[in-house]
Amino acid sequence: MGNIKIDENIIKRANIWLEGNYDNDTKQEIKDLIKTNPKEVIDAFYRNLEFGTGGLRGVMGAGTNRMNRYTVGMATQGLANYLKKMFPKKDLIKIAIAYDSRINNTFFTNTTADVMSANGIKVYMFDALRPTPELSFAIRYLGCQAGIVITASHNPPEYNGYKVYWDDGGQLVNPHDKNVIEEVNKIKDIDDVSFERNEDLIELIGETIDIEYIKLIKALSLSPEIIEKQNDLKIVYTPIHGTGVKLVPECLKAFGFKNVYNVPEQDISDGNFPTVKSPNPEEPEALSMAMKKAKEVNANLVMATDPDSDRVGIAVKNEKNEFVLLNGNQTATLLIYYLLKKWKENGKLTGNEYIVKTIVTSEILKDMAIKSDVEYFDTLTGFKYIAEILRLNEGKKQFIGGGEESYGYLVGDFVRDKDAVISCCMIAETAAWAADQGKTLYELLPDIYKEFGYYKERLTSIVRKGKEGAEDIQQMMDDYRSKPPKSINGSAMVMIKDYLSGKAIDLKNNTESAIDLPKSNVLQFFLEDGSKISVRPSGTEPKIKFYFSVKEEFNDPSQFNEMNDFLEKRIDGIISSMGLD
């Protein structure tokens, strides 16, 4: 075993698998690891793979801390038990399952179907890979009580995951998230899991759902006559080896766009993601091949979706005819601006409409809503909270659109998660609308900033790994709470929002008010110059995130680049003032 000593408790955990009711291939994998890679044995067995509020996510392989047939089976058994508790009077509980292009996608899908059907639960299983948002739609369309998608989003190729949805089509929220975790944690032994597949309870789905989904997406269009005039707009799209490969081009063509170019090398559904370092549309490198293609065909717009097609990154031409990437706040700004303008122009605003954003997303969305006499909601970070707002307002108010700075957006309410298929279509429509006014999306941004002020955002993360790292991150949060700065970068602090205590402190008026959101380990500092700093530890990675937002009045669109540089320097100053550089 080399120089690395394996703790006795880890050896005991590994021996349970070697002696228990596990398949021979799994046992052989563990034996080989013990002989050749003791470090890997420690990581594979030092804990149980945690079923968090969203589900499972981890490295694939044998062991209690890995994604495999047994950890997935135990999680599924716990979920099945909870469904039976929640719907005791239902003759037939139903669940939908989808998967993306990751390695072992169909294996984990079938494992999930095995356990669900063995527990007497009807399973609707997609016949091939599909976008996560289509799974959300299918839950509602088929009247299911829950849904599961096998995905690890944009994690590296060695990862896979298991994301759970409730009967409203949204990800699990309180109390179901905590209750499902409790049920999963009650499954202590693999012998508690029923793996005997019941084929009579498994039904393949696909084309019928696609048709209904596309039909509803097409109905979202607000400017079909403009698209007809601008249908020669050139769009380059890449699914980055993921699930958008079929439906995004189909939907764009259904909207009326005739010149949709793909990136053939990235149309191949491959969980190794061979052409990119990371299949993450937030990373410039992930769009490099698409931008190269865009130069070749002289495209107007570049769009890239992540493997499960719930997030989208875009690139547009600047004043020098060069492609530049927009961040998630800028894309959200363009999309919501267009939606509000067209809803008003089309006579659809009645005073009962609303938009939703997260607390770390640009405040310009709030400003636009207020000016349009449209209600807005702020939620905690995570699209499941946006979906919860939709559920609470269903049948009472009309949702226009919403989004978060991390490249996730939604238009319409028939999906209850961020939807890159819908977003690609509506972003393309926004580009056509701008083109009809003789502008590019890049040229539209200065016009928006002139109306609402120039907002600039940046995200910075500090990584602290291991137990000591987690303690360091918590200490940073404790220090900010107990000794908040009186000023940052020369601007006085005017408001502190602490989402853990649920209090907002107005320092100018020396008053305190309650925050009407679930408690969360997030702090926000508001400065006199309009700057906003949000601080939160990541829930899935060993890092603490700092979201910076600055604002300045902006009257001259010709000074767009100069103002951008000015605000970049202000953010640099804030970072330096906080000792984060």
Classify the phi-psi angles of 395: left when phi > 0, otherwise alpha if psi is within -120 to 50, otherwise beta.
left
**Would you say residue 540 has pLDDT above 70?**
no
Would you state the pLDDT for residue 116? 98
Q: What is the CATH number of domain 213-452?
A: 3.40.120.10
CA dihedral of 323, 326, 332, 336, whole degrees rounded to 10: -30
Distance separating alpha carbons of residues 100 and 407, to the nearest angstrom = 18
**Would you say residue 2 has pLDDT above 70?**
no
Report the candidate in 99, 129, 130, 127 with the shortest Cα–Cα distance to residue 112: 99
How does pLDDT run across 101-133, given as a tens digit for each residue?
999 999 999 999 999 999 999 999 999 999 999
Residue 56 three-state SS: strand
**Would you say residue 241 has pLDDT above 60?**
yes
Task: Give 87-140 as a 3 state SS string.
Answer: CCCCCCCEEEEEECCCCCHHHHHHHHHHHHHHCCCEEEEECCCCCHHHHHHHHH
- Fold classification of 47-205 (topology level): Alpha-D-Glucose-1,6-Bisphosphate; Chain A, domain 3 (3.40.120)
Reported pTM? 0.95
Q: Please check whether residue 165 is in contact with residue 241, taking contact to mean a CB–CB distance below 8 angstroms.
A: no
User: What is the domain partition of the chain in residue ranges?
Assistant: 47-205, 213-452, 454-577
Average pLDDT over residues 456-463: 93
Strands (E), 432-542: 454-463, 487-488, 491-498, 503-506, 511-514, 523-527, 532-537
Q: Please check whether residue 72 is in contact with residue 112, taking contact to mean a CB–CB distance below 8 angstroms.
A: yes
Query: Cβ neighbours of residue 38 under 8 Å, at least 6 residues apart?
Result: 1, 2, 4, 5, 6
**Would you say residue 243 has pLDDT above 80?**
yes
Q: Confirm whether 47-205 and 454-577 share one CATH topology.
A: no
**Would you say residue 46 has pLDDT above 60?**
yes
Residue 461 three-state SS: strand
How does pLDDT run across 331-380, given as a tens digit for each residue?
999 999 999 999 999 999 999 999 999 999 999 999 999 999 999 999 99
Average pLDDT over residues 389-416: 97
Would you state the pLDDT for residue 497? 97
Distance separating alpha carbons of residues 575 and 581, to the nearest angstrom = 6
Would you state the pLDDT for residue 5? 80
**Would you say residue 309 has pLDDT above 80?**
yes
Query: How does the average pLDDT of the chain come out, rounded?
Result: 95
Would you state the pLDDT for residue 1? 41
Report the candidate in 114, 21, 132, 86 with the shortest Cα–Cα distance to residue 421: 132
Q: Which of 343-357, 360-374, 452-466, 532-546 has the lowest mean pLDDT?
A: 532-546
Report the candidate in 496, 542, 503, 543 with the shortest Cα–Cα distance to residue 520: 503
**Would you say residue 303 has pLDDT above 90?**
yes
Q: What is the CATH number of domain 454-577?
A: 3.30.310
Query: Cβ neighbours of residue 490 under 8 Å, at least 6 residues apart?
Result: 573, 577
Q: Which of 31-45, 111-125, 202-216 has the lowest mean pLDDT?
A: 31-45
Angle at the Cα of 112 (from 179 to 147), degrees rounded to 5? 55
**Would you say residue 542 has pLDDT above 90?**
no
Average pLDDT over residues 466-477: 85
Hey, what are 500's tokens? 């853990």
Would you state the pLDDT for residue 351? 95
Average pLDDT over residues 382-405: 96
Q: Say which amino acid occupies 376.
A: Y
The percentage of residues in the chain with a pLDDT greater than 90, rounded to a whole number, is 92
Catalytic residue numbers read 153
Would you state the pLDDT for residue 52? 84
Average pLDDT over residues 251-268: 97
